[in-house]
Structure 1
């Protein structure tokens, strides 16, 4: 039986209208996670989606996306899929150094990649958990982003919270809600773990480094998100064919910190950040 198709194509105009109807406002700062496929057939694909998002926040608003590069990590911890142990030293020696201008973020989706490469985009400098932004506040939000504060108090994520940014999950679930990771830094005595990656030194050389940071684990984020949504702080609607969720980032962090404190009794095995 042939697959049914949507009755009309999604366009830059229709998506912008849907975003406005959901509550996205001109002048605001918006952290967006997007599944392009969930929107249905879009005329102009990821380019049109970025244009619609920019239309919705307007020229005084700022659009932010995660551009994380989890592949720049120690292969000893890879599981999806793993690689032979005999490869590990080669990978550690040959992984290209992170470069905000050129390193792609293929696992974050086409919309995030389009924002990263959009004229005027500013990207933060963390080799594993970077963000990219478009808009008048982009540079201020993206810098600095030190190695030891992947998603912590000196990261773009914390600055987004201080500026009352909102989060838009556009066809994605709470398992991809990067904002919740800041709460992991704010629980009492968060567990830590070492992490390794390839960086570029100030002299322009490649270097493999290891640093210690908070252990990140999104495995319980769907349950956390469901509890947060049940508390009434989330606006749920349709954008294109996608289910969209819009909510204030500071409220999400406050709720998540309390929820994680209560529901995570202690350190446990942690997975890689997504």
Structure 2
């Protein structure tokens, strides 16, 4: 049987920019973009058209920021999707290439961030597992100085984005992808973990704040209920727009309350 034609909607660079501006995206602002290309519809030009549309909406003084995480640069002992045989672990640790911001691809964040990462003029932060790429007028200011022992906290691009008044654009993505919520994990009592990864001098282990996006969808539901955010459509995609600072501040209260309750319940059951 012949393949049925796409149902659309047809999305172009111009239609995307027009709809973003109608939603409230402002020229010159900074957007932290979490995205799903497939949610938009049939995009003429794919991820390249989406990036160009974002740049059109933001203008020459605006800046796009995207997560370009590389979680595969991690200890094979904790891999689960898929796991690898224990007999391989030491060889993997000894031979895994170290992070190179120019070469290491992003993983698990979609094709739009990878397109931004490889765009002429894009800059990338230096953390080997939770880097961000930025494109535009404020790119260097945002990505410089990402501390190697601070994945998503006070010495990461997230804190810079908060200070600069950036907004989050969930472009067909859900709250489970919202990295701004992770800032709150550094501002409430959180356990520390040992994180293994390849380094310039061989395998290294650093102490880091434990982070997880578990319950971020629930957190996002409450955030949207309690705080004013902008909602709309771009193509077929559901879109949400809100300040990084609002998200981090709300998440700090929410996680402080709900994770404390979880710990109390766990201790009562032990």
| TM-score normalised over the length of structure 2 | 0.93
Structure 2's unaligned 5+ residue stretches are 265-270
Give the counterpart of 1:223 among 214, 218, 224.
Answer: 218
1:68 aligns with 2:105: no
Paired with 2:229 and 2:6, the residues of 1 have a C-alpha distance of 29
1:246 aligns with 2:241: yes
Paired with 1:225 and 1:151, the residues of 2 have a C-alpha distance of 18
Give the counterpart of 1:235 among 223, 230, 233.
Answer: 230
Q: Give a deviation string over 1:206-253, Cα, whole Å, max 9, x none.
A: 521110111001111000000000013221110111111111110110
CA 1:93–1:53 in 2, change beyond 3 Å: closer, same or farther? same
The alpha-carbon deviation at position 7 of structure 1 amounts to 5.2
1:196 aligns with 2:196: yes
Q: Give a deviation string over 1:43-93, Cα, whole Å, max 9, x none.
A: 110000000011111110111000000000001111121111111111111
Alignment coverage as a number of residue pairs: 262
Asked if 2 retains the 8 angstrom alpha-carbon contact of 1:191 and 1:267, the reply is no
Q: Give a deviation string over 1:112-142, Cα, whole Å, max 9, x none.
A: 0000000000100000000000111101110
**Partner-residue secondary structure (3-state), 2:186:** helix
CA 1:207–1:7 in 2, change beyond 3 Å: closer, same or farther? closer
Q: Give a deviation string over 1:146-199, Cα, whole Å, max 9, x none.
A: 111111101111010001100011111111111111110011x21110101112
Asked if 1 retains the 8 angstrom alpha-carbon contact of 2:73 and 2:198, the reply is yes
The alpha-carbon deviation at position 267 of structure 1 amounts to 6.0
Structure 1's unaligned 5+ residue stretches are 201-205, 269-274
**Partner-residue secondary structure (3-state), 2:227:** coil
Match runs of 1:105-184 below 5 Å: 105-184=106-185
Asked if 1 retains the 8 angstrom alpha-carbon contact of 2:8 and 2:41, the reply is no
Paired with 1:245 and 1:51, the residues of 2 have a C-alpha distance of 19
Match runs of 1:253-272 below 5 Å: 253-265=248-260
* CA RMSD, 1 decimal: 1.6
Paired with 1:198 and 1:126, the residues of 2 have a C-alpha distance of 12
Asked if 2 retains the 8 angstrom alpha-carbon contact of 1:30 and 1:168, the reply is yes
Asked if 2 retains the 8 angstrom alpha-carbon contact of 1:22 and 1:235, the reply is yes
Alignment-derived partner of residue 101 in structure 2? 100
Alignment-derived partner of residue 19 in structure 1? 20
Regions of 4+ moved over 6 Å: none
**Partner-residue secondary structure (3-state), 1:145:** coil
Asked if 2 retains the 8 angstrom alpha-carbon contact of 1:190 and 1:267, the reply is no
Paired with 1:186 and 1:106, the residues of 2 have a C-alpha distance of 27
Alignment-derived partner of residue 272 in structure 1? none
